[in-house]
Structure 1
Amino acid sequence: METVDLLERMLRETAAAHGRYEEEQLGGVYDTEWPAWYAEHLAEMLAREGFTLVPAEG
């Protein structure tokens, strides 16, 4: 799978999951801490798919 395709799919899935989270857990209130929520969710998705982020060398 192309990197861009993978990231796009994961961002779309994360956005949908966050929408459900705001509705179900926050009672429809806008989540001002959404970047932290997105980061954690994306990291979990990447790990489930067998990816690990590592710093680039050099």
Structure 2
Amino acid sequence: MDTSEILRDLLTRAADAHGVHEQEELGGVYDEAWPAWYAQHMARTLAERGYRIVRG
């Protein structure tokens, strides 16, 4: 998988999970803090898969 594919997969998974989060935890209310939620979800998923983000 190349970097674009990894990021696309992470974004798709985050979007799906965030939809559940908004419905189940926020009662259907739009999450104004969605960028932070996505970042945390994606960082956690990357770490669980053994990826690290490093400066080049």
Given the two structures, how large is their TM-score scaled by the length of structure 2? 0.95
Q: How far has the Cα of 1:45 moved from its partner?
A: 0.5
- Name the residue aligned to 2:31: 31
* 2:15 equivalent in structure 1: 15
CA distance in 1, matches of 2:38, 2:6: 15
Give 1 or 2 for the bigger CA radius of gyration: 1
Query: 5+ residue gaps in structure 2?
Result: none
Partner residue, 2:54: 54
Write the letter of the residue equivalent to 1:21. H
State the alpha-carbon separation in 2 of the partners of residues 10 and 36 from structure 1: 14
Q: Over residues 17-47 of structure 1, what are the superposed CA-to-partner deviations in whole Å (9 max), with x where a residue is unaligned?
A: 0000000000000000000000000000000
Displacement over 6 Å in runs of 4+: none
Q: Which residue is equivalent to 2:4?
A: 4
The gaps in structure 1 that reach 5 residues or longer are none
RMSD: 0.6
Identity over aligned pairs, percent:
50
